């Protein structure tokens, strides 16, 4: 699939859209073109009924180094001229919302496939995905403290949600380089997988996710997000609302019939419109 730039590759197969950050010579550090293309492809994924899952990966054995150190050392920014901080600020805010926030809020499962390093804003991009699978030789690092920075691309928010305030501050202050095993222990990644099995493992999981009812997936994501801001009663009420609606869906009825007859549940061919509205 065309993305408009060589800095981001896209491939769609079996309901899975794989987006690959493609600047391997600089460890897939961000460029303006890369982020704009990623934003456009996430919009496409959100609107396309035949895209069920988004997988985010990096080319050349590295996930993403975040900011381009060469540009930072030169006092330059991908977001605008060095002498126009207001322009840079507006641009960065817009691109953060269009990428990490979009990943978090998109109503479809997202997976980060982490090879090599995920650092700084690149780590923030991985943490914005629903699930994260890393090769056993991968390393994760905030990196901000080493550069006299405090975090961007949602990294501090995601760290706080995943590991709690004290651990998040430790990772930000000291910028330790975490092995995949340690990152899994802390809850930063879903699973550490042998390097030579990582792509196959992630592809198999993405295929399984693509077979789940899109309406049920959307409801699950809303339930989990709601749990951070609402009490138990409100969350249980919302679960009940969706439960009743989904009981009337064709995907549910097909699944029950298949299970009752000992068959595998088939993947619905298109996103079914169950008439469900956000609650």
Domain extents in the chain: 8-210, 214-260
The answer on pLDDT for 261 being more than 90 is no
The answer on pLDDT for 248 being more than 60 is yes
The answer on pLDDT for 56 being more than 60 is yes
- What is the per-residue pLDDT for 279? 45
How far apart CA 60 and CA 242 sit, in angstroms, is 42
Q: Which residues neighbour 241 within 8 Å (Cβ) at sequence distance 6 or greater?
A: 279
Cβ atoms 56, 129 nearer than 8 A: yes
The model's confidence at residue 258, banded by pLDDT at 50, 70 and 90, is confident
How far apart CA 238 and CA 130 sit, in angstroms, is 21
For residue 135, CA distances in Å to 19, 20, 117, 124 come to 18, 16, 10, 18
In the beta sheet, which residues pair with residue 139?
117, 179
Q: Which fold has domain 8-210?
A: 2-enoyl-CoA Hydratase; Chain A, domain 1 (3.90.226)
Cα angle value 245/250/251 (rounded, 5°):
90
Q: Please state whether the predicted TM-score (pTM) of the whole model is above 0.85.
A: yes
The model's confidence at residue 278, banded by pLDDT at 50, 70 and 90, is very low
How far apart CA 143 and CA 164 sit, in angstroms, is 18
Strands 191-193 and 16-21, by their bridges, are unpaired
Cβ atoms 124, 152 nearer than 8 A: yes
The answer on pLDDT for 15 being more than 60 is yes
The model's confidence at residue 82, banded by pLDDT at 50, 70 and 90, is confident
């Amino acid at each position: 699939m065309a993305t408009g730039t060589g800095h981001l590759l896209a491939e769609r197969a079996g309901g899975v859209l794989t987006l690959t950050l493609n600047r391997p010579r600089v460890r897939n550090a961000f460029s303006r073109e890369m982020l704009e293309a990623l934003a456009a492809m996430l919009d496409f994924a959100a609107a396309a009924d035949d895209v069920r899952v988004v997988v985010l990966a990096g080319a050349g054995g590295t996930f993403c180094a975040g900011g381009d150190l060469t540009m930072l050392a030169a006092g330059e920014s991908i977001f605008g001229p060095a002498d126009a901080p207001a322009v840079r600020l507006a641009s960065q805010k817009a691109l953060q919302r269009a990428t990490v926030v979009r990943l978090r809020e998109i109503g479809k499962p997202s997976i980060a496939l982490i090879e090599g390093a995920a650092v700084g804003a690149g780590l923030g991009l991985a943490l914005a995905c629903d699930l994260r699978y890393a090769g056993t030789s991968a390393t994760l690092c905030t990196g901000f403290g080493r550069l006299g920075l405090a975090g961007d691309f949602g990294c501090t928010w995601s760290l706080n949600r995943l590991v709690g305030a004290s651990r998040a501050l430790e990772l930000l202050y000291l910028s330790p380089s975490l092995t995949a095993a340690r990152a899994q222990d802390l809850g930063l990644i879903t699973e550490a997988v042998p390097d030579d099995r990582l792509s196959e493992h992630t592809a198999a999981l993405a295929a399984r996710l693509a077979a789940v009812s899109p309406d049920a997936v959307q409801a699950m994501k809303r339930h989990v997000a709601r749990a951070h801001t609402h009490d138990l009663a409100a969350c249980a009420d919302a679960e009940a609302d969706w439960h009743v609606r989904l009981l009337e869906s064709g995907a549910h009825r097909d699944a029950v019939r298949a299970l009752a007859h000992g068959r595998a549940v088939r993947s619905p061919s298109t996103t079914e419109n169950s008439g469900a509205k956000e609650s």
